[in-house]
Amino acid sequence: MKLLVLDSGACFSEALANLYEIDDGKLDPNQLVENLPATLKIERSDASLLLSHLESIEIHLVEQTSRGLFKYVDQPNIEQALNRIGTSIIDVASSEPKRRLEPLLIAEACLNMLSYLFYDAPKSLRIPKPSQSQKCLLLGYGAIGQAIGHALIRPGDLDIFSKGSVKVWDRDASRRQLAQDEGLEIFDNWGSKEEFDYVIGCTGRCSLPMSSFSLLRDNAYLISVSSGAIEFPFHEMVQRALSDTEIDLSSAQINEFTSEDIHRNIEFRIDNRRKLTVVNGGMPITFVGILNAALPEKFDVTVSCMIAASIQAVHTNQQTSDQNRIIPLDSTYSALICDWYKP
C-alpha cells in the first residue's frame, strides 16, 4: 500500500514527529491535545497503533510551502521521524515556478485584501488606511515581501507609504542588501526606541516576538501575509492576557473567541496603555473566509507544481539511510511549468 501526502506547512510531518515522541514517552498526549474534545484525545497505545500502520505502508510526501521547510530545519524531531519511517519530501516550495511565478500572484492577492480591509471589510475586520506620515515595518524580503514592499510605496499600486516610512528586516543578509539596493531602509536595531504603526509579516516564521513589542506605537496593527497563522505570537498573547497584567484583553474580546466567526480583529492592551490590533486574529489576510482574494485559476501554476511533484514522489524510492530527505522538484517539470505559465 502507498500513501501520497500533499502537505502544506509540514502538518503531516509535524504530526508524525509528535506520534513518535508520544510512543517514546517523550511527550504527554494529554498536554498535546488538552483543548480538544475528549472524543478526539489519544493515548500512548493509540500512537503506537498508528505508527505501526504507517510504518507498514509506503509514504510519499510533497511540501508546497517555505513554512513547512523551515519547520524541517528548525525542528530536529521532524527529520528524525522521517528517517525512522524512510520517507523523503519533494520540495515544491523552492522550485523555480514557486519562486518566480507564484509570489506575484500571492502579492496581488494580499494587495487586494489590504484594499478590502481598508475600504470594504465589515467592522470586525476593517482597519484604517495609513497616512503618509505613519511608519511600516516589513518583516521578510523574500519574493512575496519584495512584491508587497514595492506596492506599498509605488504610485499606481496601494501607494500608502512614502519610501522613507517603510523599513525592512530579513534574517538573510543578501535580502537585506537587495532591499537596500532598491532604496528601502533596513531595520536592524531591535533594541531601538523607534516605533511603528503597521507591521506586515511575511517570513514564514514568527517574525515579531513579544519581547519586541516596544517597537509598536499606540494603535498599531499586526498584519500577516504568510501562509499560516505563525508570524505573530497570537496564542502566547492570549495566554498572557488571561494570566497576568503585562497584556490585557477586554471581556468582550474574550467572549468573541467562542464565536463561529473566527475572522475578526483582536485588540490587546500593552502595559495598560498602548492598543495593539492583531488583524484577522493573526491568520493571513488572504484567509478571511469571505471571498477569493484573486481569481482561482491564477493559481493553476501551484496546482501544476503539486501534480508534477506527486508524479515525482510516487516514483521516488523509499530511503533507508540518513541521507538528505528533501528532494528538489525535478528540473524538467520546473522548466515545463515555467514555460507554460510565463507572463
Residue 36 predicted with pLDDT over 60: no
Averaged pLDDT for residues 225-246: 83
Provide mean pLDDT across the span 282-300: 78
Percent of the chain with pLDDT strictly greater than 90: 40
Count Cβ atoms below 10 Å from residue 255 Cβ, excluding itself: 10
Per-residue confidence at 106, pLDDT binned at 50, 70, 90? Answer: confident
> What does the pLDDT look like over 52-69, one tens digit per residue?
999 999 999 999 988 888
271 pLDDT more than 70: yes
35-39, 125-129, 235-239: the lowest-pLDDT one: 35-39
Per the rule left: phi > 0, alpha: psi between -120 and 50, beta: everything else, 150 is: alpha
Predicted pLDDT at 187 = 94
The mean predicted confidence, pLDDT, of the chain is: 86
Per-residue pLDDT at 320: 57
Q: What's at 341, amino acid-wise?
A: Y
**Numbered ranges of CATH 3.40.50.720 in the chain:** 122-282
Average pLDDT over residues 190-196: 89
pLDDT of 245-260, one tens digit each? Answer: 678 887 777 777 666 6
Instruction: Please give the CATH number for the structural domain made up of 122-282.
Output: 3.40.50.720
This prediction's pTM: 0.80
Higher pLDDT: 221 or 164? It is 221
pLDDT for residue 172: 92
pLDDT tens digits for range 170-185: 999 999 999 999 989 9
Contacts 24+ apart (CB under 8 A), 192-199: 194/135, 195/135, 195/220, 196/135, 196/136, 196/137, 196/167, 196/220, 197/130, 197/134, 197/135, 197/136, 197/221, 198/130, 198/134, 198/135, 198/136, 198/137, 198/223, 199/136, 199/137, 199/139, 199/223
What percent of the chain is predicted at pLDDT more than 70?
90
What is the predicted pLDDT for the residue at 158? Answer: 64
What is the average per-residue pLDDT within 186-198? 90
- The stretch 297-303 carries a mean pLDDT of 87
Q: At residue 222, does pLDDT exceed 90?
A: yes
Whole-number pLDDT of residue 40: 59
Nearest to 51 by CA among 74, 18, 26, 94: 18
Question: How does pLDDT run across 133-182, given as a tens digit for each residue?
Answer: 899 999 999 888 988 888 888 776 666 888 889 999 999 999 999 999 99
